[in-house]
Amino acid sequence: MTIDVSFYSPKGGTGKTTLAMHFAMYLKSKDYTVEFVDLDPQASARKFIEPEMTYSNHVTRHPKSDFRVIDFPPSATLSHKPLGFTFLISEPSLLGVEGAIEIMKSHELKKYCVITNKYDKRRSDHVAIHKQVVDAAKSLNSSASHCIFVSNISNFSAVERSTNRRKTLFNLDDKSAKSIFNFKKAKDELSETFDFVLLGLKK
Ligand SMILES: Nc1ncnc2c1ncn2[C@@H]1O[C@H](COP(=O)(O)OP(=O)(O)OP(=O)(O)O)[C@@H](O)[C@H]1O
Ligand SMILES: [Mg+2]
């Protein structure tokens, strides 16, 4: 059976497409078959993904792959409900965190994780904003809407640098990887988060 994984955020520019592409390539590196569904009319993932795996711009009726990774447009309305397990992507800004908490309060998401993306642990405002997400996840959890974990992903120039090469950290060639500052640190951090989610999805 195909497992659906949505990347969703009410706010634009939080990193949905970037993290969706990285998760899709991470799954591929683990030999899963993956279909990438791009619901963003800007189709920003297309040029990265299409040569690597099945790509479509609508939710296909009979998916054949192990996973279907769905990239949502910014400010998706409720007519665009996330499918399956959801990565709710927040960022360390007031708009980012307010948007994420609003979605958590709506109990629209059945099983999900919340990621504060572009996080800098040395900044006290980032730490305080992330704590709001952690507290909301704890207080809003219910049997109908269950947050399996809350985490953050650092602001890594390595993420930008690899996507500038139309690659993710999971399919960059070794030579390019060597030239990217903090490549391993960034890849390890993303892998750790994705490993955790994968474990939760298989349970
Ligand atoms: N962890 C990160 N570290 C550094 N830069 C990042 C990180 N995640 C995303 N970015 C950068 O942030 C920018 C916005 O990312 P992206 O396009 O994935 O956001 P989005 O949520 O899909 O935007 P939209 O709402 O327009 O679809 C891109 O330049 C991307 O490279
Ligand atoms: Mg996007």
Q: Which atom of ligand 1 is nearest to the CA of 21?
A: 18
Q: What is the CATH number of the domain that holds 99?
A: 3.40.50.300
Q: Which atom of ligand 1 is nearest to the CA of 163?
A: 31
pLDDT band per the 50, 70, 90 thresholds, residue 161: very high
Pocket test for ligand 1, best of 7, 11, 14, 18 (most atoms within 8 A of CB): 18
For the chain, what is the domain count?
1
Distance from the CA of 183 to the center of ligand 1, in angstroms?
17
Each residue of 53-84: pLDDT tens digit?
999 999 989 999 999 999 999 876 656 789 99
From the number of C-beta atoms within 10 Å of its C-beta (0-12, 13-18, 19+), residue 31 rates as: exposed
* The pLDDT of residue 139: 95
* The pLDDT of residue 142: 87
Would you give the DSSP letter of residue 73? P
pTM equals: 0.97
Domain region containing 49: 3-202
- Range 61-88 burial, b when 16+ CB lie within 10 A, else e: eebebbbbbbbbbbebeeeeebbbbbbb
> Using CA positions, which residue lies closest to atom 9 of ligand 1?
15
Q: Which atom of ligand 1 is nearest to the CA of 74?
A: 25
